[in-house]
Every structure is written in C-alpha cells, then in structure tokens.
Structure 1
Amino acid sequence: MLLLAAGPVASAEILEAGSTRPDKVVAEFRVGGTRLVLVAGDIAEAAPSFGQNTPGLDFRLAPDAGRLFADLTEGAIGQEMSLDICGDTLVTATIRERLDGAGHVAFESLGEAVFYATRLTGEITCD
C-alpha cells in the first residue's frame, strides 16, 4: 500500500506503507491500496453549496495537494475511489476522468454539508 501525504507546507511527500500519518488528518481519498491523506492546510476552500436542488459541499485543494489528487485520479481512471472526511466514508465513486484538485460531494441536507465543510477547513476539529 502507498500513502501519499500532502502537508500544510508547500511541499508534498510520498510516504511508504506503515509510515506515520500526518497529525490532524481531515480527509482521505482511497483508490485500491493508495491513500491520499490531507490535513486542513491542504484544503484551499470548502463551502456548502446548493445546486440543482441538491445540497452539497464544494472543495478545492491547495496546489501541492491538488497535483497529487490529479495524478492519483489520472492513474486510476475506471477504478473506484472513496472519500473519507474525519473518518466517515462519505462517497465511493468510479473515476471517469482526471480530477484537477476540486470536487463536489452531494448530501441529503445542507446541515451535513456545513458540518463537513467546517471540518475540512479546520474551523472545527475532527475529534
């Protein structure tokens, strides 16, 4: 298993399996045995949204994390990817194309979107 870690500083690291995860992990993208682990500093923007009559969460990753995310998705087209925020698996979907460091997650309520947006940005901790 490979662990990709993007940190709150300007340089991202690739960690071997079994390496210590960064402190304060807020999100994790999983594809097969590869995990992209993010801390709040890796999230450039996260905000609740309401589009097409569906509440959701729009997010944009910081540049280093966005590049890792784009590389991860480009190499995994056709595979399933899961997104965990604060340890909760929110969605599992098939990657159809390279994703350039931004995305949208649909929710049943706007309250859920607000709950997870505040955790991604670090306003409220995952504890």
Structure 2
Amino acid sequence: MPSLAQTMAAPVPKVFAIEKQNSKIIPTQIIVDNEAGLAPRVITIQDEFIPAASNGVDIPGLTTIDRLSITVDNGGWATIAAEALKELEILGQLQVAIDAAGGAGDATIVTISWGFE
C-alpha cells in the first residue's frame, strides 16, 4: 500500500496519488503534523477529475471536489485511521490543499496512505 509525506505550501494543492483507470483511491490513513506550525492550519483532501460527458455538457472541464477538511492546532497532530476513512473515495486525483503558507520555521507535513479499489 503506497504512502507519501509532503511539506505543504499554499496556494497550490499537492498531488498525492494520480487517477488509475477504472478504480477509486481509498485513503487508509491520514497524518497531519503541525508540531512546527506557528498557527492552526486547515488541510483539505480534494478529488480532482474530469466527469463524463452528459446531455447538458458535451465536453466537461476539470472538476475539484473537497472531500474532507481537517483543522490542526499549532503544535499539534491529527491522525485519522482507516475505520474513520472507510467512506472516503477519490474518483480522480488525490490532492491536498492547505489554507495558508507557512513562513520560515513554520512547516505542516501531511502523510497519506492509500489503496485502490
């Protein structure tokens, strides 16, 4: 099961897993380390994909849906295990956004483990 840790920086979301044809990305653990953070941070798990064409839209554009938001106090950690994530499904690309960029000495690290279904 793959996992990846990245130091977050706003405003551009960081990609954790790319879409795999005919499968969903299922996060199995999310860890947010804001221990070195100088302020509380909001981390948003996003699903980015291009939906299928429909009667109303012949050529749909890229769609980003916020699937989960996590607030972590400065100096704190948050861990979300598989049981709490069992209903979270990512249809396209799994990416993470942070509400604000940290300055020097202010780092928020996000680690995500996932599988495919």
Identify, as 1 or 2, the structure richer in helix.
1
Could you state the TM-score of these two structures normalised by the residue count of structure 1? Answer: 0.26
Q: Highest relative contact order (Cα 8 Å, sep 6+), 1 or 2?
A: 2
Could you state the TM-score of these two structures normalised by the residue count of structure 2? Answer: 0.28
